[in-house]
Amino acid sequence: MLEMLKYLVGSAGASGYGSKSTAEEVTQSSTHLNSITAIVTGATSGIGEETARVLAKGGARIVIPARNLKAAEEAKARIVSELECFDHSRITVMVLDLSSLNSVMNFVSEFESLNLPLNLLINNAGRFCYEHAISEDGIEMTFATNYLGHFLLTKLLLNKMIETAESTGIQGRIVNVTSNIHSWFSGDVFEYLSQISRNNNKYREYDATRAYAFSKLANLLHTVQLAHRLQEMKANVTVNCVHPGVVRTNLNRDREGFIKATSCYVATHRKVENVNGKYFADCNEQGSCESNTKSAHLAERLWSTSEIIVSNLTGKPQP
């Protein structure tokens, strides 16, 4: 009850921000954004677009990947129209369908050909499939888009982020947007994964909410294992995950809410420097990702299983 009251009144937490803080407020002290290049998935609407707009307003170079180029160009136009004297060439629109592993690999190849640095990777895109659908790779669509595509995207871009951090001295940050709905998933993770990670047109027990909750649990477990790996590598790159709050987006068109600032806070604020593997909500740390999963032992196994799935589907062994 106390936490709900704090949320409703927007009480500031230890960070100095709360549920009613705006993205612009939390980035005001980030004077280094003009040196930053950020990839923001899902930036054609909602939280992703607001994140891209605020980062661009601070001077960051933004890459907007999208499967719908028209929607991406429209989002770019909206952002540019709101920012005075902004160089529109600092926002790059590129093709990326996260439900397609081939599209992810093509996107990374094309991005690398631009010879741009990469400081921020904000894995924001999300999909809620009300009906059972499968990707071109034969994977349940919600899982393919929300988790597996982001898993491969992050893995392929990680060396670029590490190299950028080494050459610039600016710490790289990866932000995985999850949701507290991850706690709604129940059952055996790998039994469920075996059902949705193959082309199974006879799968009749589809539950849209359960599928979404599972994909968000996978995002959380991804953060747990990636944080461990970055620490072992002693890379100047961190990864954290955020529960962004409610907003009118294509995921949930019939509900209203505040556009949340948590993604921008975790991506840019000096208080989050060297913070790794943590879970944030309302711009405040809510413990480690491991403690939030309540099943940390699954993280390493999910990573290994994901590598096997990707290798089998693409024919390319994962390093």
Indicate which residues carry an active-site annotation: 206
Q: Helices (DSSP H) in the chain: which residue ranges?
A: 2-9, 23-27, 46-57, 69-82, 101-113, 141-143, 149-168, 189-196, 208-233, 262-268, 289-293, 298-314
Give whole-number Cα distances, 24 to 160, 245, 266, in Å. Answer: 28, 16, 13
164, two tokens: 């950028």
Cα 120 to Cα 234: distance, rounded to the nearest angstrom = 18
Main-chain phi, psi angles of 93, to 5 degrees: -100, 130
CB 98 within 8 A of CB 149: yes
Cα 96 to Cα 153: distance, rounded to the nearest angstrom = 10
Q: How many CB atoms within 10 Å of residue 159?
A: 13
CB 246 within 8 A of CB 46: no
| Pick from 301, 275, 303: nearest CA to 289 | 275
**Which amino acid belongs to residue 124?**
N
